[in-house]
Structures are given as structure tokens and as C-alpha cells.
Amino acid sequence: MQSYIASFDIGTSEVKAALLDRHGRSSLEHSIALTTFGDDNGAFEQEANDWFHAVQRIAAGWWRSGVAPNRIAVIAVSGQMQNFLPLGRNQAPLRRAVLYADQRAQPEAREINARYGADTLARELDNPLTAASILPKLLRWRSESGPDFQRLRHIVLGAKDYIVLRLTDSHITDRTNASTTGLYLPGADAWHAGLLADYGVPLASMPELRQAGEQVGAVTALAAGQTGFATGTPVLCGLGDAGAATLGAGVGRAGEAYLYLGTTAWLAHLAPPGAAAADRPVFTLAGVAAGLSLRAAPVLNAGNILRWALTLVGHRPGDSVADSFRLFAAELDGAEVPDGLLFIPYLHAERCPIALPAPNGALLGITASTTRSQILQAVLQGTALSLRWCAELLGMQSAAPLTVVGGGVRSEAWLQAIADTLELELLVKPDAQMLPLRGLAALAAVELGWVRCPNDFLEAMDGTVAATTTWRPRHGERHRIRSKFEMFKRYAAALPTLADEGGPIAAWPRLAEPESISRC
Ligand code: ADP
């Protein structure tokens, strides 16, 4: 009898899921959109129950399609990391989950860094402590919610951990997700008990650290009633989405790299463990490949900037996004970005390559002959220049092709702009959106004894989908790109200072290098 791995990815914009058989064939792929609650103060929240409802709805669809629950051999879940979700009794959320992109805990992050020394903390944690870290978010919540803090039983640190908790009653997390929290000491493989104690946060509220491929429990009778999964179905620990995407991209050796291009993005490569610096906003993630760290540059302004640019071709709420992307592609019509035209893509706060607590976007060097096509092309180039800066911060040396994952691969013009700007060949798999699900399933296939290592399963899967597409950089662009990149870094770094002084336009005359403004 055929059995399946049920693989779920709790993404930012949607929950994706698929059933995979032992030959790597994927079926009954589903996705359900999620609502994000935000405001102008940098809020970025979701209802944890929406994640669970999406899992329930997807499972219900499988049962309606005739899949018998007892054919699910194992459930594996990955998802967004750096979530802060406090739970009270009976796993009831005490507030909405505060997501990785939420920027409101800046003062709390500053206070913690000042108290311990940002560099000392970054060395201990192997990661910088920022407003996205868990402790600053928790302190902010405590100061606002008061008595709710007394009801705190568990702190959930990732979207998939909440799903695992609801399915099994096990409060766990994996080391990849733990690395992003600002509370995990990779050297000791333990939570930072001192930091928690200093701020009065009970160590007992933290999840247990487990291996990603480990079975951490089984579907409880309550969860079986809520989802239709059979009671006792094994559930794996799973891992944060950056780890799952790494496995899915087939990246497993030192120096190998990939790019996740979604609503947000990250550029990541595997490297020997090394000291983190507080002034480098890149993550060092444990638990992805033995003896290696995943160094990841998390970028908040990526696919969402293309979505914004759709408004320049007339996209309005309710219009088909796919149709507007077609209009966008047609409008580009081979346009080149003039040397003086520069788009700085930080229309939202940013984490990497530059930490910006507030939006700092700009379109510079526009003249009476600038066309809309050139502006659209500059938008693509601006996001690509930001990624090049990330590559520089990560110290990526390799000229080997870069695998690209995520829904952004649907934009061919964007891929070409990124290949030109990074001066790297890009490899795009046709099922790029599903790579986190594939990586997770490969991990589960090892746990089930179907294959010996994840790559055996991925290769079987590759046999079931069409060939990889390659995007080559246009080397004629090299010189222009390099000088544009230097210009990009200079202006992107200058804009926040100008905003502090009362806004970029008012402050332009105060720039130190007026001649470089006219070049722009
Ligand atoms: P998430 O990170 O939310 O899971 P996805 O991987 O689904 O995101 O990618 C979403 C991004 O893909 C969008 O922000 C947009 O830039 C891009 N995109 C979506 N639809 C299209 C399309 N039809 N053509 C080109 N790009 C698209």
C-alpha cells in the first residue's frame, strides 16, 4: 500500500503543503493564503490559529480526495522563524504571533545590547541581537500587557513549532530556528539561561531543543479529531524554513550557496563556523549540515518591492497579480537602466544588507527623458544590487552557479537582472516554490528509512520534474554594474542620515559630495 510524507511549510504569505511518496513524486499540492496584520509603527503579526486552520483545511482536502489518513507515514513541518508567540494554559495564545519582520522592539534591543555589549552578545550567540530577536519582543509585550506575562506557560519560537505543539503536545524547536532567536548559545548547545534569568523569563517556558529529523511525538487523539490525521501518526521536529530550503536546494557542502526569492528573500551559503560581528546583520544558523554553519543574509525588501512596482503599470487592488506581472514584463521591453538612474529599494524597514528601522527608499537620477520602462528595470536592478551587497557581507567568494528558490523565479527579467548584478550563473528548478517542502520531505524520507541521505531522495524527485533552467550573466554589463554598485552602497548608507535631518529632499544640499549627486 502506498504511503506518504505529509510535508507542510508555514510561509509568510501562505501555508503550502504536499504529499510525497517514496519515489519522490509530489501530489495534492495545496496552498492557503495567510493574513498579516501590520501598521505604520512596524507591526508584523499573524494569528497562530490561522496557521493551524490552514493545516486543517489542507488535510480535509486530502481526505476529500480519497487519501486514507492511515497512509500518512509521517508529518513534517517547516516554517517562518523568529516568531514570538506566548502561550498560556492549554496552549492558548496570549497574543498574536509577532513575526520576524516586526520592527517595534528597537528600544528593547538597544537596551539589551547596551547592558551586555553588542559585540560580546553577538560572539556568544553567533548572531547579532536585534529588534527581531525574541527577548526584545518579549520585553515589549511584557511592558504593554502587564498581568498577561504572569499567565505565560510556553514561548513558541517558530510557526512550525506551534503546529507540532498542536499536533503532539510536544513543546520543541530545532537548532536552525533556535539560532535566530537571540537566546541560543551554539557553543553550549543550550538556551542562554543567564540572559533569561536577568530578565525574569522562566527557562521552563522555553522549548526543548531537538534534531530536525527526529520524531518528537505523535498525533494526539484531540489533534486527530481536529485534523483527521490518524491518532499516533508520527510527527518530526522539522526545521526553520531557511534550513528546509537549504536542504531542498541540494546545498550541503562548504561554499555552496543559494538564494531564496519570495515576498522577502535570503542569500545563504555554507561555511565553517566563524565569529559573528554585531555590525553585520547576517545570521549564522546551526543544525543544517554537520560541522558547517549556514550564513544567511535576510532581506525584507525583495518580491514585495516587485509587487509594489506593479502599481506603476496600473495594478489596482483586486486585479489579477499574474496579469499585472505579464504587463510588467511586457512594459520592460528590453529597456536598459541609464548609468545615472538608481533605485534604492528600501520601501519597508530593512534588516540586511543595511539595518533600517524605518523605510528609506529612493529613486535617484531621474531626468525628463527617463521612461517608465527604465524605472521598472531600475527597480529590478535596485533589489539585485541590494543582494550583491549581501553577498559581499557574507564574504561569498565562490563563482559557482547559484541555485534560486521561491516564487520570485516567475519573473525572468528579475532573474536576468540578478545574474548580471551578482555576476553569477543562476540555476532555477521548475518547482522552485516547493523546494522547502522537498527539503523537509527528504529529511523525512531518511527518517522513514526510504533513502540513506536527503540528496538520494532529491535526485529521485529531480527525475520526476523537468530540467533546471540556467540564467547567465551578460559580461558586457560588468563594468557598469560595478560602478553602479559602489554608487548604490554610498547612497543607501547616506539616506537614513538624511531622513534623520528632516527628510531626503530637504537634506540634499548638505551631502558631502555634491558632484556625485549630479552624476547620479
Ligand atoms: P513567500 O515568501 O510569501 O512564500 P513566494 O515564494 O510565493 O513568497 O513568492 C512571492 C513573490 O513572487 C511575490 O512577492 C512576487 O514578487 C513574485 N511573484 C508572484 N507572482 C508572480 C508572477 N506571476 N510573475 C512573477 N513574479 C511573481
What would the grid cell of residue 5 be?
510524507
Q: Which amino acid residue places its CA nearest to atom 15 of ligand 1?
A: 303
Give the residue carrying C-alpha cell 511525538: 217
CB of 410 closer than 6 angstroms to any ligand 1 atom: yes
Q: Is the pLDDT of residue 378 over 90?
A: yes
CB of 301 closer than 6 angstroms to any ligand 1 atom: no
Q: Is 198 helix (H, G, I), strand (E, B) or coil?
A: helix
Mean of the per-residue pLDDT values of the chain: 90
| Integer angstrom CA distances of residue 437 from 15, 26, 423 | 11, 10, 29
Q: Is the pLDDT of residue 358 over 70?
A: yes
Count of C-beta atoms within a 10 Å radius of residue 14: 17
Q: Is the pLDDT of residue 504 over 60?
A: no
Q: Is the pLDDT of residue 510 over 50?
A: no
Give tens-digit pLDDT for 50-97: 999 999 999 999 999 999 999 999 999 999 999 999 999 999 999 999
CB of 13 closer than 6 angstroms to any ligand 1 atom: yes
**How much is the average pLDDT of 134-142?**
97
Q: Which amino acid residue places its CA nearest to atom 23 of ligand 1?
A: 322
What is the 24 CA–ligand 1 centroid distance (Å)? 25
CB of 433 closer than 6 angstroms to any ligand 1 atom: yes
pTM of whole model > 0.85? no
CB of 229 closer than 6 angstroms to any ligand 1 atom: no
What is the 133 CA–ligand 1 centroid distance (Å)? 26
* Selection from 261-265, 382-386, 393-397, 512-516 with the highest mean pLDDT: 382-386
Q: Is the pLDDT of residue 506 over 60?
A: no
More confident residue, 201 or 460: 201
Tell which residue, 79, 80, 77, has the closest CA to residue 7.
77
| Beta strand pairing call for 208-210 and 172-174 | parallel
Q: Which residues of 170-196 are buried (b: 16+ CB within 10 A; e: fewer)?
A: bbbbbbbbbbbbbbbbbeeeebbeebb
Q: From 34, 35, 410, 416, give the residue whose CB has the most ligand 1 atoms within 8 Å, as the site to mutate.
A: 410
User: What is the C-alpha to C-alpha distance for residues 212 and 436, in angstroms, rounded to an integer?
Assistant: 13
Lowest mean pLDDT among 281-285, 325-329, 344-348, 351-355: 281-285
More confident residue, 505 or 145: 145
Burial class (CB in 10 A: 0-12, 13-18, 19+), 268: buried
At residue 463, the pLDDT reads 63
CB 405 within 8 A of CB 248: yes
At residue 39, the pLDDT reads 86
Question: Quick one: pLDDT band at residue 202, thresholds 50, 70, 90?
Answer: very high
Q: Which residues of 129-151 are buried (b: 16+ CB within 10 A; e: fewer)?
A: bbbbbbbbbbbbbbeeeeeebee
Residue 169 identity (one-letter amino acid): D
What would the grid cell of residue 410 be?
516567475
Tell which residue, 431, 470, 446, 467, has the closest CA to residue 252.
446
User: For 274-373, where are the E strands, in sequence order?
Assistant: 283-289, 292-299, 342-344, 362-364
Q: Is the pLDDT of residue 423 over 90?
A: yes
φ/ψ (deg, to 5) at 191? -70, 155
At residue 464, the pLDDT reads 58
More confident residue, 426 or 498: 426
Give tens-digit pLDDT for 263-317: 889 999 998 877 555 567 788 998 888 888 899 999 999 999 999 999 999 999 9
CB of 383 closer than 6 angstroms to any ligand 1 atom: no
| Integer angstrom CA distances of residue 36 from 47, 203, 220, 282, 327 | 8, 30, 29, 24, 27
More confident residue, 136 or 255: 136
Give tens-digit pLDDT for 455-486: 888 887 766 555 678 999 998 888 999 999 99
Give the residue carrying C-alpha cell 519515489: 23
What is the 324 CA–ligand 1 centroid distance (Å)? 12
Q: Is the pLDDT of residue 508 over 70?
A: no
Residues 6+ apart with CB under 8 A from 208: 170, 171, 172, 173
At residue 355, the pLDDT reads 87
CB of 321 closer than 6 angstroms to any ligand 1 atom: yes
What is the 122 CA–ligand 1 centroid distance (Å)? 33
CB of 406 closer than 6 angstroms to any ligand 1 atom: yes
What is the 239 CA–ligand 1 centroid distance (Å)? 22
At residue 467, the pLDDT reads 62
Lowest mean pLDDT among 24-28, 47-51, 122-126: 24-28
Q: Which amino acid residue places its CA nearest to atom 13 of ligand 1?
A: 303
User: What is the C-alpha to C-alpha distance for residues 502 and 496, in angstroms, rounded to an integer?
Assistant: 10
Q: From 100, 266, 325, give the residue whose CB has the most ligand 1 atoms within 8 Å, as the site to mutate.
A: 325
How long is the chain? Answer: 520
What is the 303 CA–ligand 1 centroid distance (Å)? 6
What would the grid cell of residue 441 be?
520531505
Give the residue carrying C-alpha cell 525584507: 300
Q: How many CA atoms lie within 13 A of 49 on its CB side?
A: 8
- Give the 3-state DSSP-derived string for 251-293, with helices as H, strands as E and coil as C: CCCCCCEEEEECCCEEEEEEECCCCCCCCCCCEEEEEEECCEE
- DSSP annotation of 512 reads S
**How much is the average pLDDT of 193-212?**
97
- Rounding to the nearest 10 degrees, give the CA dihedral for residues 54, 55, 57, 63: 160
What is the 468 CA–ligand 1 centroid distance (Å)? 19
Tell which residue, 321, 335, 251, has the closest CA to residue 293.
251
Beta bridge partners of 93: 87
Beta bridge partners of 172: 208
CB of 307 closer than 6 angstroms to any ligand 1 atom: yes
Give the residue carrying C-alpha cell 531564496: 260
Question: Quick one: pLDDT band at residue 325, thresholds 50, 70, 90?
Answer: very high
CB of 408 closer than 6 angstroms to any ligand 1 atom: yes
CB 515 within 8 A of CB 486: no
Percent of the chain residues topping a pLDDT of 90 = 72
Count of C-beta atoms within a 10 Å radius of residue 228: 17
Tell which residue, 195, 186, 177, 302, has the closest CA to residue 242.
177
CB of 79 closer than 6 angstroms to any ligand 1 atom: no
User: What is the C-alpha to C-alpha distance for residues 320 and 308, in angstroms, rounded to an integer?
Assistant: 14
| N- to C-terminal Cα separation, the chain | 65
Q: Is the pLDDT of residue 511 over 60?
A: no
